Structure 1
Amino acid sequence: MNKQSVVLFFCHVLLLAGMSFSHSTCTGYWTLLQDAMGISAMHMQLLHNDRVVMFDGTDLGPSNVSFPKAKCSRIYNGRRIGFDCTTHSVEYDVATNSFRPLAIQSSMWCSSGGAVHYGALVQTGGFKAGDRTVRILKPCRGCDWEEIPMGLLTRRWYATNHILPDGSQIIVGGRNSFSYEFFPKPASFYWHLAETKSAAKAYSLPFLVQTNDGETENNLYPFVFLHIDGSLFIFANNRAILFDYSKNRVLKAFPEIRGGNPRNYPSTGSAVMLPLDLQAKSIEVEVMICGGAPKGAHIKARNGVFVKALKTCARIKITSPNPKWLIEIMPLPRVMGDMLLLPNGNVLLINGGSFGTAGWELGRKPVLNPVLYRPNKPPGARFEMNAPSKIPRMYHSTAILLRDGRILVGGSNPHPVYNFSGALFPTELSIEAFHPSYLDPQFLALRPTILTPWSQMMLLHGQTFKVEFTVIDELDPTAVSVTMLAPPFNTHSFSMNQRLLVLGVGNVTTNIWPDLKYEVEVSAPVGSNIAPPGFYLLFVVHQCIPSEGIWIQILG
């Protein structure tokens, strides 16, 4: 019996005996879902039909999932032009642990995207012939990718997308693209074309020029978050601004993080906007950035010298009149890690390495242990080590939260083609699930089960509604909250559009006939600056243990 099995057995024994122990006794566990899914999951997005869209790029050589010749894609890999009759995109069914191939013609390698208000994944940019392509995948049975070959005004490779209050996406930056644009284009754009018959241009963003440090850039995949006033917080390299995209104007420049080390690709750290507490009289907005690599680390790695990754996290309260970065120390250094918001408001740091940077063969010493960060604990008591995986997840790894609370983890391919032998870190085709400690058997009796509303409920901003749920153990009504999470588009250590809201709740009431049930009145977010229209996962949380989520749709 391995260590994980011993821990789980011990947890089961204590649960049956009616005993309890601290969260730190069982620190989560791992399960392998697919040993060889066929492609390496470089990008992931959970859709509201509980399917996960995964893809890499059409220029990486044949995958392990064949397609008929009618669906072959043209490849451009710098050495030859030809056709690839394998797929590089799949739809993974969470419930059945199965997948089906999807057809894609243009390379989506190192692209960006997000799930829009009507539930489709709108995905933008990529490599070479795919860098101005927009692709749409609707969440319906048998649906496949629809491609718009010239859907972007500018080439976008290593860009970042964010959903806006009106339901559109803003696409920011990319390699040699110091600008931003929108998809779909505003009505004024089409009116402009009709009047002048001229091509429109993307909007210049000088901040991206200022944060480009030359050869290594270090400002790709910028961290972008929608502020509650409708502006954007944009972090690139080692600096951040508050930006009014509607007027193309910088509203505020934030101080540099102490030390000035880069945090964006290829010195890849990660970032989250911490949960927004809508019950507070005044909503505070905090951004947290963790990991990355020291100045010069990328060039050194290319010369065979692998520098230890950063061990620091930095938090800043952007709603403060005098915002400052507060530095915290992680248990482990981490580069190419992912930061995921959990339903109970905690943050999970997962994947990556502890030396080197992102890029082909440039990372070393995998970080196998996820780390839990509890933002509301006192400083010095916020980090907690979790159980390690056996699979290195280095460059081009991904991770997302599933509706049942598990973390789906895949990818890792630090090579320009698929490479399964003779490599320090071979191309990884497996996917696995990390079960955070709130899924440990000892907490089963505390875990709520939502009875109503049914999944796929539609809500208006500011609407009040009731959530009915059960709990096996005795309920502590003072320890109940309701959260709402926007599932992100994850790639290259950043989860675009990730957002967790702690909703306003009323008193918990009890109905003891015919069964013991509880009911809480909940207020939906009041506006689209706080919750852009779209699909969210709604959870009931009891004593930090979340229920399985249900899907709700916030209407525009």
Structure 2
Amino acid sequence: MRTMGNAFQRLFTFLGLLHYGAAATSLAGNWTLVQQGLTGVSGLQLAVVSETKAIIIDKVENNALMVDGHIAWAVEIDINTQEVRALDPLSNTWCATGSFLSNGTLISSGGSPIRITGEDGLQALRLFTPCTDGSCDILEDPTRIRLTSARWYPSSVRIEDGSVLIFGGSLLNNYINNATINNPTYEFYPPKNIHGFNGLQIPSQFLNDTINGNHFPNLVYLPDGRVFISANTQAMIFDWKTNTETQLPGIPNGVRISSPFSAGHVLLPLSAENNFTPEILICGGSTVSDFADPLTLTSQEPTSSQCIRMALDEAGIAKGWEVDQLPEGRIMADLILLPDGRVLVIDGAMTGVAGYGNVADQIGQSNADNPAFMPVIYDPAAPLGSRFSRDGLIASTIPRMYHSTASLTPNGTIMLAGSNPNADVSTIMYATEYRLEFLSPPYMAVERPSYTGLPATFDFNSKITLDVDLPEGTKDVKVALMDLGFATHAVHMDQRLLYLDAVLHEDKTKLTVTGPPTPALFPPGPGFLFVVTDSGVPSFGHQTLIGTGASPPVDEDAIAKYVYAQQDDDAAGCAVVLAAGAEAPMSVECSNVASAIMNMLLI
């Protein structure tokens, strides 16, 4: 019986690998963790913006770091030296979302109305174009360029034309969404003339159906050009081109998965070997009622250990969610894709809910307790029941719960920052955290492949040839193209791994790589390219712009309507209130404002 069981186990393992296909062998060994550097502002939001730099954005609070005579709440940080350069956004970035455009500009949208210094952030649009000379800053022009409605806790996703879809949120700040403050709409940046809503926000039924617990809904761009969206206990596929919502099987066992019941989610790696079939992984969450008075809740509320996975093809949807279990319940966990195809589950808490200042028995001000210090690895190629492992992993001693972030870096380490479950900078229990950590997988301690020859732009279906230097004994390689995403509140906007078609030349010194087959498989914009050996060891991830590097399309008609909708009081003749069903002709002054906005959109 044991022999037969082992035979079946080997068969199931083989079938799982055959189905998944894209995962590389993973190098065994011990992970290392170092505390190195300070962030200057707490790491509420984090995005890697170049091969050496990351941007960290906080809410407006009383950090010691100053910029232009006032407190700072955003920095650019050098990943290698941890040198910090203060940035100067104008508005409160608290609970904003972020995505990169096709030209490499980061768009931060939404935020908070609370002012310590600066502007109201609810309708804010902030642009950050990375630079190499230390001169770049966050650009805002609140009177000219902003969202068409207020958004607190929205999400965003880059789509196949290189623009950004911004989805959901609340009209005011609150612990949890509700029908009186819900913003059940989405919009595009740059604005689009689409579905009869020229340049303006468009209604979404899903955002009505999922209140109360639908802050920071999970958005994933799919290879067929549609968007997977999940929030609360529901999921759907959204066709933005036809404005159609298609319901998917609900989240099993009543587990809620979006803030303040935050689960981690990720799109598993895509490759030709798995026919580019998208699979969604969602881990953690809570079964707490989203209509409960928070004063009836406790920081000791159990969290869910449920980890679910579904393939979004016809067979996978018919099968529904496959249910697995984390080693422990977890909320606010970050799920980080590794170049070898595995997923790191890290940070968060084992009890309570997200947020601060709400539950009856706050820890300091935190709504959560029992930090999840020990990470775990999820191997999507392993059979169900044996996908989680802690072999060689190391625990942190720094609680990273609400308002913490994590990201893979180009050199292959995982950068860990933040945690501030308080109304302001604090030294109480679970205090404001500025310490930076770097978690290093075992591959950081061995000889790694390297390459040169990656161009600044890498177009779809084009071929490039890299010069590679491979460790002795390497028989083959994979090429992992990764979007490292924008992380906040355990949500990773746009995080993605696509294995590209690659042919290693016979002498193993050159590698011919083909760009993504379609923009839906990897929407045009920043990507980091890792060469991964057959032993699971990645190279440094050099950066390129997938596509041509061009700005996303700008619709002049939508911009004109957008200008009218903004009622720009600073431009004479542009503060126009439209009569129902009619549009005033564009004045010269208003045309000039539209042109200025278009120039900003094309930054």
TM tier, shorter chain? 0.7 to 0.9
| Separation (CA, whole Å) in 1 of partners of 2:398 and 2:67 | 28
Residues 527 and 546, structure 2, Cα contact 8 Å, conserved in 1: yes
TM-score after normalising by structure 1: 0.84
Of the candidates 51, 54, 78, which is equivalent to residue 53 of structure 2?
Answer: 51
AA of the residue aligned to 2:228: F
| Separation (CA, whole Å) in 1 of partners of 2:443 and 2:266 | 21
Of the candidates 236, 239, 243, which is equivalent to residue 244 of structure 1?
Answer: 239
Give CA-to-partner distance per residue, 1:245-302, whole Å, 9 cap, x none. 122111x21111220210100001010010001344x321100100011233894864
Residues 98 and 493, structure 2, Cα contact 8 Å, conserved in 1: yes
| Separation (CA, whole Å) in 1 of partners of 2:456 and 2:381 | 30
Superposition deviation, residue 192 in structure 1: 8.4
Q: How large is the RMSD of aligned CA atoms in angstroms?
A: 2.0
Q: Is 2:496 aligned against 1:499?
A: yes
Judged with a 3 Å threshold, the aligned counterparts in structure 2 of structure 1 residues 391 and 301 are, in CA distance, closer, same or farther, namely farther
Superposition deviation, residue 505 in structure 1: 2.0
Trace 1:181-196 onto structure 2 (pairs within 5 A). Answer: 181-186=187-192, 188=193
Residues 482 and 539, structure 1, Cα contact 8 Å, conserved in 2: yes
Aligned to 1:38: 40
| Separation (CA, whole Å) in 2 of partners of 1:415 and 1:495 | 22
Aligned to 2:249: 255
Residues 297 and 307, structure 1, Cα contact 8 Å, conserved in 2: no
Aligned to 2:322: 326
Aligned to 1:230: 225
Give CA-to-partner distance per residue, 1:420-462, whole Å, 9 cap, x none. 2xx22011111111112332x2xx13x2112x214x5321100
| Separation (CA, whole Å) in 1 of partners of 2:321 and 2:506 | 41
Residues 39 and 77, structure 2, Cα contact 8 Å, conserved in 1: no
Q: Is 2:376 aligned against 1:371?
A: yes
Trace 1:462-473 onto structure 2 (pairs within 5 A). Answer: 462-473=461-472
Give CA-to-partner distance per residue, 1:322-371, whole Å, 9 cap, x none. 24100111112210110011111111111100000101011110001111
1:391 partner SS: coil
Trace 1:61-72 onto structure 2 (pairs within 5 A). Answer: 62-69=62-69
Give CA-to-partner distance per residue, 1:163-186, whole Å, 9 cap, x none. 011111000000221110001112
AA of the residue aligned to 1:87: A
Superposition deviation, residue 117 in structure 1: 1.5
1:148 partner SS: coil
| Separation (CA, whole Å) in 2 of partners of 1:402 and 1:25 | 20
| Separation (CA, whole Å) in 2 of partners of 1:302 and 1:428 | 26
Of the candidates 79, 83, 87, which is equivalent to residue 102 of structure 1?
Answer: 87
Q: Is 2:277 aligned against 1:293?
A: no
**Runs (5+) with no aligned partner, structure 1:** 1-21, 70-84, 194-199, 511-516
| Separation (CA, whole Å) in 2 of partners of 1:546 and 1:383 | 21
| Separation (CA, whole Å) in 2 of partners of 1:457 and 1:133 | 30
Aligned to 2:14: none
AA of the residue aligned to 1:66: M
Aligned to 1:12: none
Q: Percent identity?
A: 30
Residues 65 and 87, structure 1, Cα contact 8 Å, conserved in 2: yes
2:407 partner SS: strand
Superposition deviation, residue 24 in structure 1: 4.9
Residues 344 and 541, structure 1, Cα contact 8 Å, conserved in 2: yes
Superposition deviation, residue 524 in structure 1: 1.0
Superposition deviation, residue 68 in structure 1: 3.3
Aligned to 1:126: 111
| Separation (CA, whole Å) in 1 of partners of 2:466 and 2:377 | 28
Q: Is 2:329 aligned against 1:336?
A: no
2:71 partner SS: coil
Judged with a 3 Å threshold, the aligned counterparts in structure 2 of structure 1 residues 539 and 23 are, in CA distance, closer, same or farther, namely closer
Give CA-to-partner distance per residue, 1:493-519, whole Å, 9 cap, x none. 011011100111224421xxxxxx532
Residues 55 and 88, structure 1, Cα contact 8 Å, conserved in 2: yes
Trace 1:104-503 onto structure 2 (pairs within 5 A). Answer: 104-128=89-113, 129-140=120-131, 141=133, 142-149=135-142, 150-175=145-170, 176-186=182-192, 188=193, 201-212=200-211, 217-250=212-245, 252-280=246-274, 282-296=275-289, 299=292, 302-303=295-296, 305=298, 306-321=300-315, 322-360=318-356, 361-385=366-390, 386-420=393-427, 423-439=428-444, 441=445, 444-445=446-447, 447-450=448-451, 452-454=452-454, 456-477=455-476, 480-503=477-500
| Separation (CA, whole Å) in 2 of partners of 1:300 and 1:401 | 37
1:529 partner SS: coil
Aligned to 1:538: 529
Superposition deviation, residue 555 in structure 1: 1.7
Superposition deviation, residue 379 in structure 1: 1.6
1:259 partner SS: helix
Residues 413 and 425, structure 1, Cα contact 8 Å, conserved in 2: yes
2:355 partner SS: coil
Residues 112 and 123, structure 1, Cα contact 8 Å, conserved in 2: yes
Of the candidates 519, 523, 528, which is equivalent to residue 510 of structure 2?
Answer: 519
AA of the residue aligned to 1:285: P
Greater share of strand residues, 1 or 2?
Answer: 1
Residues 210 and 231, structure 2, Cα contact 8 Å, conserved in 1: yes
Aligned to 2:554: none
Give the aligned length: 487
| Separation (CA, whole Å) in 2 of partners of 1:320 and 1:133 | 39
AA of the residue aligned to 2:43: A
Superposition deviation, residue 118 in structure 1: 1.4
AA of the residue aligned to 1:295: V
| Separation (CA, whole Å) in 2 of partners of 1:536 and 1:458 | 10
Aligned to 1:15: none
Aligned to 2:544: 552
Give CA-to-partner distance per residue, 1:92-114, whole Å, 9 cap, x none. 01132201001122100000011
AA of the residue aligned to 2:162: G
**Runs (5+) with no aligned partner, structure 2:** 1-25, 114-119, 171-181, 357-365, 549-603
| Separation (CA, whole Å) in 2 of partners of 1:449 and 1:23 | 17
AA of the residue aligned to 2:81: T
Residues 301 and 307, structure 1, Cα contact 8 Å, conserved in 2: no
